[in-house]
Amino acid sequence: MSSVKKKKDFHITIDEELCKGCSICVSICPTKTLSISKDPNKKGYYSAIQHSPEDCIGCNKCALMCPEVSIRVFMGVPLNEGIS
Ligand code: SF4
Ligand code: SF4
């Protein structure tokens, strides 16, 4: 967990069943917060995962570039909101 307090909280969701593991999002993420899963999804693709969500700066590049439209970026909602 980063000790740097961000001005806003960002997080993304990845629909792992839509993802085809092309790695475009992994390559384009400026904070290198994405990687490829070691386990295949139901279709046999190794999907993208976010391994360090605290480093996401909400730039939206991953969502814009994903050819499968499987990433959504959220802003202003605490990462652990709703989790007790
Ligand atoms: S929104 Fe930007 S920083 Fe966050 S995971 Fe996507 S590309 Fe990386
Ligand atoms: S760009 Fe989209 S399809 Fe490609 S690895 Fe990332 S989430 Fe999966």
Domains belonging to the chain, first-starting first, are 23-71 (3.30.70.20)
> What does pTM read for this prediction?
0.84
**Residue among 71, 72, 73 whose CB has most ligand 2 atoms within 8 A, to mutate:** 71
CB distance 25 to ligand 2 below 6 Å? yes
CB distance 21 to ligand 2 below 6 Å? yes
Query: What values do phi and psi take at 16, rounded to 5?
Result: -65, -20
pLDDT tens, per residue, the chain with 84 residues: 444 455 578 889 999 999 999 999 999 999 999 999 999 999 999 999 999 999 999 999 999 999 999 999 998 755 555 554
Query: What values do phi and psi take at 35, rounded to 5?
Result: -150, 180
CB distance 12 to ligand 2 below 6 Å? no
